[in-house]
Amino acid sequence: MNQAAISPIQQVKHSRPQLQHADSILSSSAGYLSEYASDASSSQSARGYETPPSRVSTPTHRQMQESEMTLPQRPQAAVPAPLTVRQSANHYGRPLDALGNGHLSPPTPGVDDTPYIRFALEQLTFDEELAGRGRHSSELIDYPQSQQTAHQQPVQSTPTQHQKQRQPPQRPIQFPRASSEQRRAKTGEIMLLPSDPPRDRHQLGFVPTPLRLISLGPLVLLCLLMIAALIFSNIYALTNHGLYDYDNNFTPRYFVFEYLPPILGMIIVFWLFVVQAAIYRIAPYFTMSSKRPSSKRDGILHTTPITPANFVLPDWRFFKLGEPMIGAVLTGFWLTNWTIPLLSCLYGTQWFTNVGTPRFRWTPVQGLGWFIAFLYLITIAALIYCMIRFRRRNSALMWDPTCLADLIILFQRSNILPDYVRSETKEDLAAEMHPRYSRLGYWTTNQSPDFFYAVGEANQPYLELSTSSDKYANEKMDSSRSSRESQEGLRNSQASSFARMLHSPWVRHRWCPWYLKDSAILAWAITAVLLLVAFLAVSFVNRAVQRGFSPMLPSTTQSNGFSPANFLYSFLPSLLGMFLFLAWQPIDVYFRAVQAYANLSEHDGATARRSILLSYNAQLPGIVSLRAVMNRDWKVAYFSLVSVMAATIPVLAGGVFTALLFANGEVWMTASFPGYIALCVFLAIYALSYLIIWPTRFRCLPHSINTVAGNLSFLYASRLLKDSSIRNIRTKADFIARLDGRVGTGLTGDGRRAGRRTEKQSDQESRYGFGIYTGVDGKEHLGIDRMQRPGSGENLVVTSRQSR
């Protein structure tokens, strides 16, 4: 080679590319290459270097923009045509590799290719390390004008003077190798990092009262007492020829043997309802607070139910959600429901001749006694598991998440909120939401030493909704659209479609449970009324119940206490009554859960205590009716009262009939008439209640609220999550006071203290509404926000009743 043709390597200036966040994604190494690539002066115009496109591990789903890369040009070689590589990236991948496709120039004889080979290997190795970039971050690299001009130069067959002067590197170019966190810190991304609770902060580990030892212990003791009573009853009756003499069906002894056992069993059933409600309420949060990695956290917010549903049919959803033990616990509790019909037919009368004067005596059915004791053993085992599972050390809760307002504390600094963009109008969140490996606890970031409490995903970017909502929504577009015009058109189309759905009455009032649809309610009401009329007619026409009726089955009591007639006319009525009782519970649960949204939809909204702080599903049976009357939530008060009153139906129905031997030697089924009258009254109230269970249109929502995600979809864009006055809350009492605006640091700033409120003070409390509002991203959303802010005289939420 001619020595004169080779000139010393010229010193070039380094320029740092400008980084600008955009929707397109280029190779992550391009940013680093641009920091170390040399740039000639503006007067020089040749293609300096070309680098092969970066290689990644897997193909991707989303189409990316085309890009050109350069590699150091060999001397005495023709300049190759610009590389045009169509790149695509999925949620986790990087651009595809274009190396090895025959686009590079052939090797030049007499020129040492070692520096170029080492350069290429270094580049490929570097890109492999950078392939695990964050799932939602992207960069648009703006090259200097000289490089942009060089890319636009026409391809020449012979090297220019500038190309002859630029020589290949004498040693391989070294690039910095940075970890994932260091790269994100360089691009300005804030990463959410898990942290242990600071010593000066509120220590976590709250467990709701129904799941504490102080509550589960007495319940286990009550079950043990029931088992002991059943065992004693069986053994004593075998050795003493029954228990007591039968006197009549109007005496206290009749009440003890026919009504008292199912009453005690019903107390256990109601207690288990409270325990189940607590399990449903905190199950997703306990799973997210687990320190062991598990696939159970994937999508837990939009798949795990938080409202009780273990009534007529067992709830086996937890088996599918990766929580088989909780599913087994709920199945054990469901089996306990059916101890009521068994307890109703546990005792009967038997004719004894070997106790002096022959007479009827009360005696238990031996097989039923042992079987009921076995069912209570299963209940005890389930309760013991609850004691072990729901302990303080397994909890990351500050307090019991019983209301909508608690979501503000849990998600006000979460990094998963952008996933909920436009989710308020989706009908099935579980089918459309991305799975997240969520965690509940304390967090910090890579750019701040502050600690905060939230639900989030570890080692993922913390993005504000106002700057990330469009980006997250656009990721769901069709990957086949690559041009900017088609993307903009689709974006505008989706935005206009979303706006139409927001204001559509059909979408706003689309969802309610299937059993509260108009056709279902009509069927329930007609069936209940017809059955009630038939029952009353059969009971009182020709005085059939007072005179008695033939059992049409053998009534003789066997040695083990079993009588076919007594069993049938006790078990079957109680079983039907238990079905009616359990069938009403989902109705009660729905009206309790949705009442907050109904109050928020009022014309002037509602105070915090009547809306986002309502916790009817976490309150005790009976207490709900009293609280609802105080809040003037009449439907909740009535339906909750009916749910308690309906418990009398299986109790009375199972003990009202008894087989008696009359003087003429015939056996007839007779009824305890006071109990039968009470049964008819309660059945009439129950049946007529189906005529008024129609949920108003303001109790119908766009989608289900049976999960955390279902409720969070109405809060993700609310300014309540960004309100600095309700951050760093450490007690529930302080949180309630700030939402009410009754403290100096509250929302109204009027300096009122917590205490007894006058009517004037109640009118001045902060009010909240459910409707169309402008979110933190400056766009319209459907959800919950404050009706007015301090100093503002206009409503910030347009409720459904205002838009009529």
Domain endpoint, select from 699, 721, 739: 699
pLDDT bin (cut points 50, 70, 90) of residue 730 is confident
Q: Which residues contact 484 (CB under 8 A, 6 or more apart)?
A: none
Of 23-37, 198-212, 732-746, minimum mean pLDDT range: 23-37
Are the C-beta atoms of 273 and 621 separated by less than 8 Å? Answer: yes
Q: Is residue 476 part of a domain?
A: no
Are the C-beta atoms of 446 and 192 separated by less than 8 Å? Answer: no
Q: How far apart are CA 406 and CA 736, in angstroms?
A: 10
- Domain shared by 54 and 86, yes or no: yes
State in Å, rounded, how far the first CA of the chain is from the last one: 88
Beta carbons within 10 angstroms of residue 182's beta carbon: 11
Domain endpoint, select from 360, 395, 430: 395
From residue 802, give the alpha-carbon distance in Å to each of 486, 511, 749, 799.
Answer: 38, 21, 27, 5
Tens digits of residue pLDDT in 280-309? 999 999 999 866 555 666 788 999 999 999
| pLDDT at residue 218, rounded to an integer | 97
| pLDDT at residue 668, rounded to an integer | 86
- Domain shared by 250 and 334, yes or no: yes
For every residue of 180-214, which 3-state class applies, written as one string?
Answer: HHHHHHHHCCCEEEEECCCCCCCCCCCCCHHHCHH
- Domain shared by 167 and 242, yes or no: no
For every residue of 141-163, which 3-state class applies, written as one string?
Answer: EECCHHHHHHHCCCCCCCCCHHH
Tens digits of residue pLDDT in 589-620? 999 999 999 999 998 899 999 999 999 999 99
Mean pLDDT within 455-470: 75
* CA torsion through residues 428, 431, 435, 439, sign: positive
For every residue of 14-45, which 3-state class applies, written as one string?
Answer: ECCCEEECCCCCCCCHHHHHHHHCEECCCCCC
Domain endpoint, select from 653, 675, 699: 699
Q: At what angle do helices 213-239 and 366-389 cross, to 10 degrees?
A: 160
- Domain shared by 174 and 231, yes or no: no
Q: Is residue 402 part of a domain?
A: no
- Domain shared by 313 and 254, yes or no: yes
Q: Cα-flanking dihedrals φ and ψ of residue 660, to 5°? A: -125, 145
- Domain shared by 687 and 763, yes or no: no
Are the C-beta atoms of 553 and 659 separated by less than 8 Å? Answer: no
- Domain shared by 709 and 788, yes or no: yes
Element housing 623 (H / E): helix 623-630
* CA torsion through residues 558, 564, 565, 567, sign: positive
Which is higher by pLDDT, 121 or 76?
Answer: 121
- Domain shared by 22 and 112, yes or no: yes
Which is higher by pLDDT, 658 or 55?
Answer: 658
Q: Is residue 479 part of a domain?
A: no
Tens digits of residue pLDDT in 170-225? 443 333 333 444 474 445 688 888 888 777 666 789 999 999 999 999 999 999 99
Total domains in the chain come to 4
Q: Is residue 403 part of a domain?
A: no
Are the C-beta atoms of 305 and 282 separated by less than 8 Å? Answer: no
Exposure string of 118-146, with b = 16+ CB inside 10 Å and e = fewer, is ebbeebeebbeebbebbebbbbebebbeb
Q: Is residue 452 part of a domain?
A: yes
Q: Please give the share of the chain, as a percent, with pLDDT higher than 90.
A: 44
Q: Is residue 286 part of a domain?
A: yes
Phi-psi group of 45: left, alpha or beta (phi > 0 → left; psi -120 to 50 → alpha; rest → beta): beta
For residue 522, give both structure tokens: 């009509």
| pLDDT at residue 166, rounded to an integer | 41
Q: Is residue 636 part of a domain?
A: yes
Q: Is residue 201 part of a domain?
A: no
List 364's β-bridge partners, or say none. Answer: 347
- Domain shared by 39 and 175, yes or no: yes
Question: Tokens 């990236």 belong to which residue?
Answer: 89
Alpha carbons within 13 angstroms on the beta-carbon side of residue 661 total 13
Q: Is the entire prediction scored with pTM above 0.85?
A: no
- Domain shared by 390 and 435, yes or no: no
* CA torsion through residues 793, 797, 798, 801, sign: negative
- Domain shared by 43 and 178, yes or no: yes
| pLDDT at residue 794, rounded to an integer | 58
Tens digits of residue pLDDT in 227-255? 999 999 999 999 888 999 988 888 899 99
* CA torsion through residues 496, 498, 503, 509, sign: positive
- Domain shared by 632 and 673, yes or no: yes
Which range marks the domain in which residue 383 is found? 209-395
Are the C-beta atoms of 800 and 699 separated by less than 8 Å? Answer: no
